[in-house]
Amino acid sequence: MQLRYSYRLCPTRGQGQALARAFGCARVVYNDALRVRETAREAGLPFPKAAELSAALTEAKRTPERVWLGEVSAVVLQQSLRDLEAAYRAFFDGLAGRRPKVGAPRYKSRKDARQSIRFTANARWCITDGGKLALPKVGEVRVRWSRRLPCTPSSVTVIKDAAGRYFCSFVVQTTEVPDPPATTAEVGIDLGLTHFAVTSDGRKVTSPRFLRRAEKKLKKAQQALSRKQEGSANRGKARARVARAHAQVADARREFHHQLSTMLVRENQAVYVETLSVKGLARTRLAKSVHDAGWSAFTGMLEYKAARYGRTFARVDRAFPSSQLCSHCGYRDGPKALHIRQWSCGQCGAEHDRDVNAARNILHEGRRITT
């Protein structure tokens, strides 16, 4: 299966400037190619082929206006053209109904929060014996290796995020999968806001509420940013402080999701969750809490980790009345207000914790749809 491995990069000042040149050149090439295609569309002409755009790029590097494109690796510029090709393909496939709809490609800005470039094997990049990442026309960049790569990757993507941090990302094809512990246990999971996850065996995981806990710090940083003059150096520094504060929240949330999802997948042979309408809930007064929880990212982790470890994973449709059914006798007791956390079954008299009962019903329904 394909896995992505990301590591933090620590470029020197000179290497940071070289990467900035590469980001800028890749952006200009992308925008030039997009402009050519938009001009052809407005004129009613056929779209220029990728080979034509590549030839035009080679000619552009010989002109005084674009001669500085030769200061960066040619592979980076060619990959930028391929990114545009992929963006158009996704757009047209969406119009044809072959995939979810996405917008048409848009021009990139140097003020975009995220900048990235990609080096393929043709660029002759490598990982040195000293553990550094050698990039053409950039140099040997120090890498913080947090884990071992399972095999030699064929390409590397260098990313700069809104907080000014650099990362290298590798996508590798591997069959090396750690053997998970043998188990026959199965679990149903009910996701919520007060408790992030409640399992069918009665465990309750309190929601960390990372954004809520950082709101005071974020508010102070945002207020300081709003007082800075537009275009000033101090405003740029204040913007970076806001971005770093948000990055800390996102990193903490992602780490929590990874630890919890790994634990659940390792401990259980089958994992079942309820499909949630996140977009619908995000339009209510609970929007901030819903986004803070990050349910979609968590269930996505559960899904790919279950596939990696050979576990069973299934989503129960959100139309399933998990909160209305008695998990003991199956009697449907009707809808209940959200403030009702404990209730008794009108048929068998069983006492239920609302969330644990819902998780058990999700477990039963998950077993049914997978057998």
DSSP codes joined into one string, 262-318:
HHHHHH-SEEEEE---HHHHTTSTTHHHHHHHTHHHHHHHHHHHHHHHT-EEEEE-T
pTM of the model: 0.87
**357 Cβ contact list (under 8 Å, min separation 6):** 322, 323, 325, 326, 327
The SS3 of residue 342 is strand
255 is catalytic: no
Identified catalytic residue from 32, 83, 186, 190: 190
274 is catalytic: yes
Question: Does residue 162 contact residue 247 with C-beta atoms inside 8 Å?
Answer: yes
Question: Does residue 187 contact residue 268 with C-beta atoms inside 8 Å?
Answer: yes
Which runs of E-coded beta strand occur in the chain?
Answer: 2-10, 115-119, 126-127, 133-135, 139-144, 156-160, 166-173, 186-191, 195-199, 204-206, 270-274, 312-316, 342-344, 351-353
The SS3 of residue 111 is coil
Identified catalytic residue from 274, 292, 303, 365: 274
Per-residue pLDDT of the chain (371 residues; tens, 9 = 90+): 788 999 999 999 999 999 999 999 999 999 999 999 999 999 999 989 989 999 999 999 999 999 999 999 999 999 999 999 999 999 999 999 999 899 999 999 988 889 999 999 999 999 999 999 999 999 999 999 998 888 889 899 999 999 999 999 999 887 766 778 888 999 999 999 999 999 999 999 999 999 999 999 999 999 999 999 998 999 999 999 999 999 999 999 999 999 999 999 999 999 999 998 888 888 888 899 999 999 999 999 999 999 988 899 999 998 899 988 998 888 888 888 888 888 888 888 888 989 999 999 999 999 999 98
Identified catalytic residue from 186, 292, 303, 355: 355
The SS3 of residue 213 is helix
Phi-psi region of 215 (alpha: psi -120 to 50; beta: other; left: phi over 0): alpha
Which one-letter amino acid corresponds to residue 7?
Y
Which one-letter amino acid corresponds to residue 41?
R
Looking only at the bridges linking them, the beta strands covering 156-160 and 115-119 are antiparallel
